[in-house]
């Protein structure tokens, strides 16, 4: 029997979780249509490991403290493997099961939703369960809710596809799922008969016990370490692995203030996937472990157990630089009077036999300060809770999950991202707010905040003393190791490990994991940065990235800033490379400090816009280029440069050559992808021919048509781009007629007068960016008169298709003269509103692309005043000055080039 999408013939023997228990006579309706199920789940969850992780996220949202994960070791070869997750969170009764399948419901985001254990909710719209469709055909929930009843409900996704096969629509009639009940006495035997022996053992007494309760007897040495998978590189647990497991030192809490006992939680949920699909069998045990560890903050209130081992937070691998136990290693005697909001704080330390400190008005405080070698303030785990900052425990319960500053002003020093200060302070129990997740503003709380600030200042002082950056002479000798590169390497490690996603780091073609990368760099620090190199990355890409595959900083040689600033001077090239590298390292340092990746991305976007505006300010405007075309007709070198500038302004990517036996350059047109998303491009060589003759006409001999033909045939071999060079363009002030047309027609060379190139440039500036697709037809012409006519037709076509005038654009921008950046969508909506006010009916144009199209043209008229960056229109001046700049630029154009420019531009 051939293998199908749902797996292979092995799965015909899968245990029947679909029928476990006795039907209660009640149903839960599911109304997810087959198309919605397929398109939505497969688009969201292309990775089987990410899809499986969603089940664990659901356990977090349910307030679970213990989550057991079952991924068979023989997942690929077992006859009927089962993937399962068992947690002790808030479970579901019949109403909860009904809500479970209310896909799109946003109850988790409502203000009145009671968040289990005060946790921020990962899921929002109940779509996480759809991830299971990627992995398996059968999904079963077995739940024990507060009412003590054990219920089971199953969905066979194949039924949905079969019942709705003929409908082919997003939704379908509700499909009833039978609710089944299981007698507690039968649960263990049923689970064992289905191959879920480990789950049966965990649920032996009807509740999910903690990891310590369940396995401590069999694993007396279990301390949270996670064994490496077969073939995995060894994981350095760092200094943090040897620390006391109780960072709060709760054993010495005030005897007269008992800890709050955890209320027994006998509710639980078991989710099982059967009839696994091919992708379900491809779930990687080691990858899932890494993903889950990366998602755990330090000191998490949840224990993830896999293979009878607790998974520690990935941040536990970060080495601790220094550690101070309160009362033993640190008592702020030097700052006995720490001033916080005019409150004086007195502190006394007690080092033995059990260390603690006494804070005025607060009482006994235990705990410790840890200063880590690198940031613990970023990554996927931040969505759940902070690992750095203050962790305040009152009577066994952390009360500031969502405020790691504990009400103090933001401590923005770089040390903040590397400091964790965990304290037990039962004396503030009376100062808790009603929610018991924060404190009231009292004198005791103010005293305690002063004490916390003193703890942080102590760690910050040692952090500052321990920092050492190399002297300049060390840098020049390349003897500095990796000190300035440490933040970048940390960000690389997080990116490779899947904790963050930023275009700062390029992971393409990288086949090494984060652990191996770290091992290589520790073995030889120079492996961190092998090279700084310039490579074409496309005009839209950022100026610099770090490429993991070859450990290099890559400067984007297509970026306008690089192109405009670069000269043939090798010193300037090196300077620009160093500047781009420094910017990259600073971005990594911000992430190392714990700055939100979204803010870093916003900073990179802003810097990119500034770089592009600076490049634009150095670029010659279209009117100036038209003037230079006219002036350079008798100067070969000048004409070559201005033709290249014109083609680049029109939207072509230029590769300069200008060597003996080669053309002056190669121009590439990057077109929009076709309907099948295939990339479309064409290329042509170009040359400029000047003349000193009075009639300003280049002879046929000087055009050297046969030479252009050879250059075109050989051009592709001179580049790394395999795309053929199909066309040849020669620009000159004028051409002698006669033999020229015959030779250009025979060898397919396009002759263009410089005045016609100028008209094309101004036409594109006035009506919007040049239609590169239609321009390809111009390159196929071989007569200069035919080329001139085609350019006129192209300009007229762009004018007729233009749905927007500069006057309307300036009026829309003038609605708020203080705004320097607006989205194209916002501008298009404002223009439609203004048109509707005049026409009295709804307007559908202009759209966003109409706006971007016109602004790309305006960039040619006033490059330093306006620019398109992605979806944003960025202004370098006020809208009024923009209009004045355009009028000033075009006022002195010769009449031969203007072709009613005012009408094209302003009406």
Look at the block and give the residue holding tokens 């607790």: 310
State the Cα–Cα distance between residues 85 and 208, nearest whole angstrom: 12
Classify the phi-psi angles of 94: left when phi > 0, otherwise alpha if psi is within -120 to 50, otherwise beta.
Answer: alpha
Longest dimension (CA), the chain: 110
Residue 420's DSSP bridge partners are 370, 389
How would you classify the pairing of strands 505-506 and 544-547? parallel
Rounded average pLDDT over 2-21: 56
Question: Quick one: what percent of the chain has pLDDT higher than 90?
Answer: 14
Helix 754-767 and helix 784-801: axis angle, to 10°?
10
**How many Cβ atoms from other residues are within 10 Å of residue 735's Cβ?**
25
> DSSP label at 889?
H
Q: Which residue has the higher pLDDT, 24 or 716?
A: 24
For the record, the structure tokens of 596 come out as: 């939100």
State the Cα–Cα distance between residues 286 and 85, nearest whole angstrom: 16
State the Cα–Cα distance between residues 666 and 628, nearest whole angstrom: 21
Rounded average pLDDT over 33-39: 53
Residue 69's DSSP bridge partners are 85, 306
pLDDT given at position 84: 94
For the record, the structure tokens of 786 come out as: 């035919």
Residue 480 has pLDDT above 50, yes or no: no
Residue 349's DSSP bridge partners are 357
Rounded average pLDDT over 391-408: 86
Residue pair 401/466 in contact by the 8 Å Cβ criterion: no
Per residue in 70-79, pLDDT (tens digit) is 999 999 888 8
- Of the pLDDT bands very low, low, confident and very high (cuts 50, 70, 90), residue 125 is very low
* H or E, element range at 367: strand 363-372
Question: How far, rounded to the nearest angstrom, does the alpha carbon of residue 568 sit from its chain's CA centroid?
Answer: 36
Residue 198 has pLDDT above 50, yes or no: yes
Residues 6+ apart with CB under 8 A from 568: none
Residue 788 has pLDDT above 90, yes or no: yes
How would you classify the pairing of strands 680-688 and 727-732? parallel
Residue 885 has pLDDT above 60, yes or no: yes
Residue 19 has pLDDT above 80, yes or no: yes
Residue 753's DSSP bridge partners are 732
How would you classify the pairing of strands 356-359 and 653-656? unpaired
DSSP 643-675: HHHHHHHTT-EEEE---TTS-SEEEEEEEPP-T
Question: Which has the closest alpha carbon to 390: 466, 315, 459?
Answer: 459
pLDDT given at position 380: 72
- Of the pLDDT bands very low, low, confident and very high (cuts 50, 70, 90), residue 14 is very low
Q: Which residue has the higher pLDDT, 671 or 477?
A: 671
Per residue in 299-357, pLDDT (tens digit) is 877 889 998 888 888 888 888 999 999 988 888 754 444 444 444 456 667 766 788 88
State the Cα–Cα distance between residues 750 and 780, nearest whole angstrom: 7
Question: Which has the closest alpha carbon to 349: 340, 339, 335?
Answer: 335
Residue pair 316/237 in contact by the 8 Å Cβ criterion: yes
For the record, the structure tokens of 661 come out as: 């036996």
When mean pLDDT is compared across 71-75, 254-258, 272-276, 677-681, the lowest value belongs to: 254-258
- Collect contacts of 239-245 with beta carbons under 8 A, ≥24 apart: 239/319, 239/320, 239/321, 240/315, 240/316, 240/317, 240/318, 240/319, 240/320, 240/370, 240/372, 241/316, 241/317, 243/320, 243/323, 243/370, 244/368
pLDDT given at position 502: 80
pLDDT given at position 231: 36
pLDDT given at position 780: 94
pLDDT given at position 791: 92
Inter-CA distances, 419 with 412, 416, 594, Å: 12, 5, 11
Torsion over CA: 270, 276, 277, 281 (sign): positive
Inter-CA distances, 487 with 132, 186, 484, Å: 37, 55, 7
Q: Which residue has the higher pLDDT, 628 or 69?
A: 69
Residues 6+ apart with CB under 8 A from 685: 663, 664, 665, 666, 667, 708, 711, 712, 715, 725, 727, 728, 729
For the record, the structure tokens of 274 come out as: 């059967």
Residue 7 has pLDDT above 60, yes or no: no
Residue 12 has pLDDT above 60, yes or no: no
Question: Which has the closest alpha carbon to 98: 161, 141, 147, 41?
Answer: 141
Q: What is the mean pLDDT of the chain?
A: 76
Question: How far, rounded to the nearest angstrom, does the alpha carbon of residue 64 sit from its chain's CA centroid?
Answer: 29
- Collect contacts of 694-697 with beta carbons under 8 A, ≥24 apart: 695/734, 696/633, 696/634, 696/733, 696/734, 697/732, 697/733, 697/734, 697/735, 697/736
pLDDT given at position 341: 42
> DSSP label at 326?
B
Predicted TM-score of the model (pTM): 0.57
Residue 268 has pLDDT above 90, yes or no: yes
Per residue in 683-733, pLDDT (tens digit) is 999 999 988 888 889 998 888 888 888 888 888 776 667 778 889 999 999
Residue 401 has pLDDT above 90, yes or no: no
Question: Which has the closest alpha carbon to 561: 615, 620, 621?
Answer: 615
Helix (H, G, I), strand (E, B) or coil at 424: strand
- Of the pLDDT bands very low, low, confident and very high (cuts 50, 70, 90), residue 179 is very high
pLDDT given at position 337: 45
pLDDT given at position 309: 87
Helix 597-618 and helix 570-592: axis angle, to 10°?
160
Rounded average pLDDT over 800-816: 75
Give the torsion through C-alpha atoms of 448, 453, 454, 457, to 10 deg.
170
Look at the block and give the residue holding tokens 């330093």: 864
Rounded average pLDDT over 80-94: 90
* H or E, element range at 642: helix 636-649
Residues 6+ apart with CB under 8 A from 585: 484, 485, 487, 488
Residue pair 384/120 in contact by the 8 Å Cβ criterion: yes
State the Cα–Cα distance between residues 637 and 639, nearest whole angstrom: 6
- Of the pLDDT bands very low, low, confident and very high (cuts 50, 70, 90), residue 191 is very high
């Amino acid at each position: 029997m051939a293998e199908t999408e749902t797996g292979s013939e092995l799965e015909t023997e899968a245990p029947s979780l679909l029928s476990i228990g006795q039907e209660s006579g009640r149903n839960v309706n599911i109304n997810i249509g087959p198309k919605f199920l397929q398109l939505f789940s497969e688009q969201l969850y292309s990775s089987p490991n990410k899809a499986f992780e969603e089940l664990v996220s659901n356990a977090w949202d349910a307030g679970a403290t213990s989550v057991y994960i079952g991924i068979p070791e023989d997942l690929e070869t077992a006859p009927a493997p089962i993937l399962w997750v068992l947690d002790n969170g808030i479970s579901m009764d019949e109403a909860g099961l009904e809500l479970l399948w209310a896909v799109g419901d946003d109850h988790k985001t409502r203000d009145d939703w009671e968040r289990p254990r005060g946790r921020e909710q990962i899921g929002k719209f109940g779509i996480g369960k759809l991830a299971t469709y990627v992995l398996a055909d059968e999904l079963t929930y077995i739940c024990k809710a507060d009412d003590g009843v054990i219920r089971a409900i199953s969905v066979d996704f194949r039924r949905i596809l079969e019942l709705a096969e003929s409908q082919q629509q997003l939704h379908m009639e509700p499909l009833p799922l039978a609710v089944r009940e299981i007698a507690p006495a039968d649960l263990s035997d049923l689970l064992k008969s289905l191959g879920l022996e480990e789950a049966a053992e965990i649920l032996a007494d009807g509740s999910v016990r903690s990891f310590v309760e369940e396995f401590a007897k069999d694993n007396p040495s279990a301390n949270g370490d996670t064994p490496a998978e077969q073939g995995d590189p060894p994981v350095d647990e760092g200094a943090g692995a040897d620390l006391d497991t109780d960072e709060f030192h709760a054993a010495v809490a005030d005897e007269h203030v008992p800890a709050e006992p955890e209320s027994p939680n006998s509710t639980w949920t078991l989710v099982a996937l059967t009839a696994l699909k091919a992708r379900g069998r491809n779930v990687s045990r080691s990858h899932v472990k890494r993903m889950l560890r990366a998602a755990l903050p330090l000191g998490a209130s949840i224990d993830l157990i896999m293979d009878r081992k607790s998974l520690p937070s990935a941040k536990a691998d970060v080495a601790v630089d220094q550690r101070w136990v309160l009362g033993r290693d640190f008592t702020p005697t030097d700052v006995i009077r720490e001033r916080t909001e005019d409150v004086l704080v007195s502190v006394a330390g007690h080092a033995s036999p059990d260390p603690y400190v006494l804070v005025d008005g607060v009482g006994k405080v235990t705990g410790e300060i840890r200063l880590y070698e690198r940031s613990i303030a970023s990554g996927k785990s931040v969505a759940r809770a902070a690992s750095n900052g203050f962790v305040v425990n009152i009577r066994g319960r952390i009360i500031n999950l969502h405020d790691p500053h504990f009400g103090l002003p933001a401590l923005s020093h770089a040390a903040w991202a590397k400091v964790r200060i965990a304290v037990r302070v039962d004396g503030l129990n009376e100062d808790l707010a009603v929610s018991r997740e924060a404190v009231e503003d009292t004198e005791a709380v103010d005293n305690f905040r002063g004490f916390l600030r003193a703890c942080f200042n102590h760690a910050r002082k040692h952090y500052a003393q321990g920092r050492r950056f190399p002297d300049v002479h060390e840098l020049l000798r390349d003897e500095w190791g990796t000190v300035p590169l440490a933040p970048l390497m940390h960000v690389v490690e997080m990116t490779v490990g899947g904790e963050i996603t930023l275009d700062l780091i390029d992971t393409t073609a990288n086949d090494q994991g984060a652990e191996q990368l770290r091992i290589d760099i520790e073995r030889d620090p120079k492996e961190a940065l092998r090279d700084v190199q310039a490579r074409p990355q496309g005009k839209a890409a950022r100026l610099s990235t770090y490429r993991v595959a070859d450990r290099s900083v890559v400067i984007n040689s297509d970026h306008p800033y690089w192109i405009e600033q670069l000269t043939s001077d090798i010193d300037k090239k090196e300077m620009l490379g160093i500047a781009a590298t420094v910017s990259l390292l600073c971005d990594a340092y911000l992430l190392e400090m714990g700055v939100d990746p979204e803010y870093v991305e916003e900073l990179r976007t802003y810097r990119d816009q500034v770089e592009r505006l600076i490049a634009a300010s150095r670029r010659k405007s279209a009117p100036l280029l038209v003037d230079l075309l006219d002036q350079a007709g008798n100067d070969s070198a000048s004409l070559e440069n201005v033709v290249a500038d014109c083609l680049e302004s029109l939207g072509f990517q230029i590769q300069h050559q200008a060597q003996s036996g080669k053309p002056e350059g190669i121009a590439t047109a990057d077109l929009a992808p076709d309907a099948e998303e295939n990339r479309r491009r064409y290329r042509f060589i170009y040359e400029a021919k000047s003349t000193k003759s009075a009639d300003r006409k280049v002879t046929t001999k000087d055009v050297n048509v046969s030479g252009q033909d050879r250059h075109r045939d050989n051009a592709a071999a001179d580049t790394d781009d395999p795309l053929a060079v199909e066309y040849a363009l020669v620009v000159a002030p004028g051409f002698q007629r006669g033999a020229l047309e015959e030779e250009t027609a025979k060898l397919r060379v396009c002759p263009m007068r410089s005045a016609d190139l100028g008209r094309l440039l101004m036409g594109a500036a006035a009506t919007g960016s040049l239609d590169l697709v239609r321009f390809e037809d111009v390159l196929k012409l071989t007569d200069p008169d035919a080329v001139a006519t085609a350019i006129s037709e192209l300009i007229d076509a762009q004018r007729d298709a233009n749905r927007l005038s500069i006057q309307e654009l300036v009026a829309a921008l003038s609605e708020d003269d203080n705004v320097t950046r607006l989205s194209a969508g916002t501008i298009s909506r404002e223009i439609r509103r203004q048109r509707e006010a005049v026409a009295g009916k709804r307007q559908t144009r202009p759209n966003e692309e109409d706006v971007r199209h016109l602004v790309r043209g305006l960039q040619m008229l006033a490059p330093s005043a306006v620019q398109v960056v992605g979806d944003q229109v960025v202004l370098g001046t006020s809208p009024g000055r923009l209009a004045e700049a355009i009028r000033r630029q075009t006022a002195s154009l010769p009449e031969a080039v203007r072709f009613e420019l005012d009408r094209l531009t302003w009406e």
